[in-house]
Amino acid sequence: MNNLLLNVPLNRQDEQFEDLLLGGNFRVERIVSNGQSTPAGEWCDQSTDEWVLLLTGAARLSFEKSGQVYEMRPGDTVNIPAHQRHRVDWTDPNNATVWLAIHYEPREANEATK
Amino acid sequence: MNNLLLNVPLNRQDEQFEDLLLGGNFRVERIVSNGQSTPAGEWCDQSTDEWVLLLTGAARLSFEKSGQVYEMRPGDTVNIPAHQRHRVDWTDPNNATVWLAIHYEPREANEATK
């Protein structure tokens, strides 16, 4: 048994990434943020889909094209399709923000490559 | 955005299951328990691997072969390999227990069937 809310490293320099589960075409990761955000003016553009669940802390996630802004609190989930440019505008500087992220190939892509 | 800790149905009769994400060879599900447990004397024997994360509430999970018993609290994760007989002995009768479950084919199985 492992607890995702314990052994939360306090690191104001860098976010912490830890693989939890590796499947055939998906990867489950714990991410710990301590106030970090995407550098000003930058967007993240990923080649796989990512589903995120915020477990503790708080964060603001925004999308370039739609302009949607999500103020995420514990229990909140957002799906980020591949190549949908997004950024983490803000994470709580006073408390660790723990995320569960599932990186995966979308089902259609799997079907297409069979 | 969806919140896994809201809209938690109170149902003392049956556990509640909701698919959250469907990948090519995995499925992410929210399970809400309200005091339910595996019927006395029964074990669960599943054909796929299952990784569970307890989000809120409390539960006791035990395994037949190893005799291991896990008292699960928020943030705890346990991996349940396929055909490893297990049971939920107890879930908190006074508060909803919310689980995130990832059902998946293990990596070796994927490799083997390629």
Nearest to A70 among B1, B21, B109 (CB): B1
Contact B54, B21 (CB under 8 A): no
Contact B10, B34 (CB under 8 A): yes
Which ipTM score applies to this complex?
0.90
Nearest to B53 among A4, A51, A70 (CB): A4
Contact B1, A72 (CB under 8 A): yes
Nearest CA in chain A to B73: A3
Distance CA A28, CA B76 (A): 15
Residue ranges in chain A modelled with pLDDT below 50? 113-114
Query: How many percent of chain A have pLDDT more than 70?
Result: 93
User: For B96, how many CA atoms within 13 A lie in the half-sphere containing its CB?
Assistant: 17
The verdict on a CB contact (< 8 Å) between B110 and A70 is no
pLDDT digits over B48-101, tens only?
Answer: 999 999 999 999 999 999 999 999 999 999 999 999 999 999 999 999 999 999
Degrees, nearest 5: CA angle A89-A91-A94: 145
Token readout for B109 is 């199985």
Query: Looking at residue A9, what is its pLDDT?
Result: 83
Strands lying side by side in the sheet with B86-91: B69-72, B59-63, B86-91
Query: Looking at residue A114, what is its pLDDT?
Result: 41
A36: nearest Cα among A5, A68, A11, A70 = A11
